Amino acid sequence: MKKKLLAAVLAALMAMSMTACGSDKEEGGKSEGKKTAKIIDVDLTDEEYAFGIDKKQPELLEQVNTFIAKIKEDGTLDEICEKYFSEGEPTAVKSAKLDTSKEQLVVATNAAFEPFEFTKGDEYYGIDMEIASLLAEELNQELVIQNMDFDAVCLSVGQSKCDIAMAGLTVNEERAEQVAFTDTYYEASQRLIVSSDNTAFDDCKEAADVEKLLNELKESDSIGVQAGTTGQYYIEGDEEWGFPGLPAKCVTYKNSSLAVQDLINGNIDYVMVDAAPAKCITEAINEMQ
């Protein structure tokens, strides 16, 4: 009798356990409660992107400015942007091998900044990369793309190792010491990314609302950024940029995707990154959870 009673109890417990497991599943087998990230939809800065030219090549600077004006006027720039912002069909860009005996346009980039530059296999994609491809064609040169860490991009052009920096570059005086900036082609801003269960910023409507809460953070709080980007200057403070800095700790990463993943893993509290990449990165990482 005791054995039968014990068996019945065990069966009931197993049934309850299976029911509990089932309740943690959504349709399609995905687990509920998985931690994801969300963007606070408020612009924290006003920035402009431009390309950085080797200062020893003033003729190239003039050619690129003429080209930027052309693709703005004829709608080509808008068409490229629409591919990435309106679910269009991006065009793959291939890089030739560096060969100093050939007429080549050597581009320095950091291909971890979707939708401006990123890779799939051996091919490059992104707004900047498609512009680079068209620019090389316009100049009747072969395109060579050199992928490197972001904080090495302007340096490589400043040292004449590359002709042009195309990496979602915000114009500022510090970078202008290394490169000659072209005319601007895109307006950008910084956005804050938080974990999906963080409701502290949900009622923020303006930059001042977000800034108020950010300035209430403590030294024990941490904000992740891609090294060398505007987000780092914003958090650490920079007189040239006009950023007073925040009380939170700034944690730098090789790229913003790693920062968002660390946020989801609970290792940092926030991430700051440019608005367009913030959307791409957050959507991609959330889909993997």
Residue among 264, 236, 238 at smallest CA distance from 250: 236
Q: Is 19 helix (H, G, I), strand (E, B) or coil?
A: helix
User: Where in the chain are all domains bearing CATH 3.40.190.10?
Assistant: 37-45+189-288, 47-188
Whole-angstrom distance, CA of residue 166 vs CA of residue 145: 10
Residue whose tokens read 């990496």: 167
Cβ within 8 Å of residue 61, ≥6 positions away: 53, 180, 182
- DSSP strands (E only) in the chain: 37-40, 47-53, 104-109, 112-113, 117-120, 123-125, 142-147, 164-170, 180-181, 186-188, 190-195, 222-226, 249-253, 270-274
* pLDDT at residue 32 in the model: 52
Q: Mean pLDDT, to the nearest integer, of 185-199? A: 97
Say if strands 104-109 and 142-147 run parallel, antiparallel, or are unpaired: parallel
Residue type, 33: G
Identify the DSSP state of 269. S
Statement: 37-45+189-288 belongs to CATH 3.40.190.10: yes
Q: pLDDT digit string (tens) for 216-232?
A: 999 999 999 999 999 99
pLDDT value for 247:
98
Instruction: Report the amino acid identity of residue 271.
Output: V
Q: Which residue has the higher pLDDT, 6 or 92?
A: 92
In the chain, what percentage of residues exceed pLDDT 70?
89
Q: Is the pLDDT of residue 12 over 80?
A: no
Tell which wins on pLDDT, 128 or 289.
Answer: 128
pLDDT at 1: 39
pLDDT at residue 167 greater than cutoff 80 = yes
Q: What is the mean pLDDT of residues 198-204?
A: 97
pTM given for the model: 0.83
Q: Which residue type occupies 187?
A: E
What is the torsional sign of CA 68, 69, 72, 74? negative
Helix (H) or strand (E) holding 55: none
Residue in 82, 84, 63 with CA at minimum distance from that of residue 183: 63
pLDDT at position 263, please? 98
pLDDT digit string (tens) for 48-85?
999 999 999 999 999 999 999 999 999 999 999 999 99
Q: Within 13 Å and on the Cβ side, how many CA atoms surround 110?
A: 23
CA 20, 25, 31: angle at the middle one, nearest 5? 115
Task: Report d(CA 273, CA 224) in Å as an integer.
Answer: 9
Please check whether residue 259 is in contact with residue 273, taking contact to mean a CB–CB distance below 8 angstroms. Answer: yes
Residue with more model confidence, 23 or 212: 212
* Average pLDDT value for the chain: 90
CATH 3.30.70.270 at 47-188, yes or no: no
- The partner residues of 238 in beta bridges, in order of sequence, read 243
Predicted confidence at residue 87, as pLDDT, reads: 76
